[in-house]
A and B are shown apart, each in its own frame.
Chain A
């Protein structure tokens, strides 16, 4: 029996086990959903008490997305969602199986939060047990990797990824196919693969959720990438602040190795690929690819000047492919369904879907996946359910501390790399923070600048000193001590830091200030020492 057939058999066996139960209760078991262990225990106890162990299966699952109403419990095959479940609800939930659902806990079936989303990367998130490789196999997992490695040539894979139009989901949006081709063509015996899981934007949890919910999808994407570019060693650089993601990745790597999907002779071929974890100590700058590489090499996490780019001269001087978690998670889908399927979604320049962490002053905060091209209005008001407590929408911040604040007049802008950049923001890795009329933009911007100042590595002068000076100036606005000269100095410094900083952290740190100076300038003017006095802006 070949490895392929063995995996197939394993998947079928698992499916038979799953099919033997009349009902499945899936419990959201992400890091953010508290008490999920107790809920699982309570459900199992209840089922045991009623002697229904052979009919009802309780499984832990990854993130179901609607974090604001979590923990969620999904009942299959009925596809009924229960919200804000507590261990005390176990009795009612079990009693209602096969009958009318518990109205008190029921989420409306037609909630736009679910119906407006198009889950591709997150399709299995919340549907399978992330700690069981057989669950992933039964859902068709690793079929793409096995197919790629046993039946496809590296150039064929490079062509498909290139044609799909996939762009880097870490934020900058560099064409993935182009990056892969550069690494594949780069001279050098030894090549490395890195998965950047150092998600650090405040309010962002896309990568954490993907790693916690479908760790095998990320490994599968890495495996396909490694085969395509000719790398034999891969690293996942994940923050130590994500203990559950780390634990599930460790388990996933062990299980994949045991099933000969990683290690020596993958799938019975001569292709070797090993994956190791590297834990980051929480420095935001280590999400910058060259700083991340320095950190893996055992040095201080500070960025290197580019060029040379990692694709040519990366880890230990070797050609290195470095992609984000979500980018890798897209790969098995593209290989399974083809470039055209992927490219059919999205806009002209931005294809596919994007996962966002929707947070802030919004009813349905959580993890969402939408096709590129969807408007901000649809995301905020339909999927997100709008602003709570009767407040008015004010701005949405995309891209975390590197992004900009987009005001209400641009709510109909479609989500794409180009349109967000044209609005003075960035796609970023997918953080989306909604603000209402209770937020003051100068306070918000000061918070983000403080973050950048604290997280600047200190290597280059503009970022190290510039962010500190910008922060002091913003403090003056908050204290109503600022003058027209301070406003001018703020603009000068933002331009300097953006233009001359060494890496992306400094180059994008002024974005929150610049975008709010553009869209909410009056709030700065209102906070000057004497807004009606002689220092009017026109007299600068």
Chain B
């Protein structure tokens, strides 16, 4: 998880590019995703969250760039002068739908009994991209729920391993309570050296991880179905304020 280097504001140079045929301009050093969002062009994302380092792991923000046979993740690809970006094609839509389907098939995502239903980014994207069924067999793994923390719960069944919690804890809170254990399909979020969350010696109980979590994997205790409303902490403001203080 290496943050892509922050773009230096001193070299602010305006670049022109086209996104979906529309001419837009953006600052050198910005990513395709930033340029698109500044121009109200929607690109789906799950692992990306403004204020955290981008890691390009969910692969939903893949876009086409003229002259390149490959697809490029918009969250970590810097714009270039004259770049021609396409964010919506049937091919991209198919890939995005397939990725959402893979995520649903990976664990036990049952919206009807989920605390985050109605406020879930995975659910929203599925609806946005028209995913109305899952073409792959669901794996239904047997996964634990860690309710050892006084105020919060970690439900691995709903986790999509976006690692926003890992990054917010390490980069913003500075506690680095969370990390990933195992690898591949067996990967799991863990607290400290695989301790029950409630026994964690580093967790400050700040709750940032709960609120950046896009699904119902991290939630506040005592809430029933559809009651967990996530309030994204004002990460960009926090980051900007800190940068000013440090200067």
Contact = CB atoms under 8 A, between A and B. Distances in A.
A465 B59 contact: no
Contacts of A469: 102, 105, 136-137
Contacts, number: 100
A53 B136 CA distance: 71
A283 interface: yes
Contacts of B106: 464-465, 468
Contacts of B1: 299, 302
Q: Chain B binding site: helix, strand, loop or mixed by DSSP?
A: loop
Interface in A268-317: 283, 285, 294, 299-300, 302, 304-305, 307-308, 313, 317
B59 A502 contact: yes
Contacts of A460: 56-59
Contacts of A453: 184-185
A465 B95 contact: no
A507 to B, nearest CB: 9
* Residue among A308, A462, A465 with max Cβ neighbours from chain B (10 Å): A465
Contacts of A313: 5
Contacts of A462: 59, 99, 102
B180 interface: yes
B135 to A, nearest CB: 6
Contact of B182 (A299, A455, A458, A500): A458
Given A305-B55, A461-B99, A502-B56, A300 B161 contact: no
* Residue among B73, B135, B160, B183 with max Cβ neighbours from chain A (10 Å): B183
Interface residues of B, number: 36
A285 B187 CA distance: 14
A472 interface: yes
Contact of A458 (B62, B77, B103, B184): B184
Given A300-B179, A461-B58, A455 B184 contact: yes
Contact of B98 (A468, A492, A501): A492
B139 A500 contact: no
A496 B98 contact: yes
B63 to A, nearest CB: 11
Contacts of A461: 57-59, 99, 102-103, 160
Interface in B4-39: 4-5
A219 B185 CA distance: 38
A457 interface: yes
Interface residues of A, number: 37
Interface string A460-486: 111011111100100000000000000
A472 B137 CA distance: 9
A457 B163 CA distance: 13
A297 to B, nearest CB: 8
Given A283-B183, A501-B59, A465 B76 contact: no
Contact of A468 (B73, B139, B182): B139
Given A456-B185, A461-B59, A500 B71 contact: yes
A349 interface: no
A493 B57 CA distance: 17
A454 B57 contact: no
A459 interface: yes
Contact of A304 (B2, B78, B137, B187): B2
B169 to A, nearest CB: 15
A22 interface: no
24 contacts: A305-B56, A305-B76, A456-B185, A458-B180, A460-B59, A461-B57, A461-B58, A461-B160, A462-B59, A464-B184, A465-B105, A467-B184, A467-B185, A468-B185, A469-B102, A469-B137, A472-B137, A472-B139, A493-B136, A496-B102, A499-B71, A499-B95, A502-B57, A502-B59
Question: What are the 8 tightest A-B residue pairs by CB atom distance, in nearest-first order?
Answer: A458-B187, A456-B184, A465-B102, A305-B56, A468-B185, A305-B76, A500-B59, A460-B57
Interface of B: 1-2, 4-5, 55-59, 62, 71, 73, 76-78, 95, 98-99, 102-103, 105-106, 135-137, 139, 160-161, 179-180, 182-187
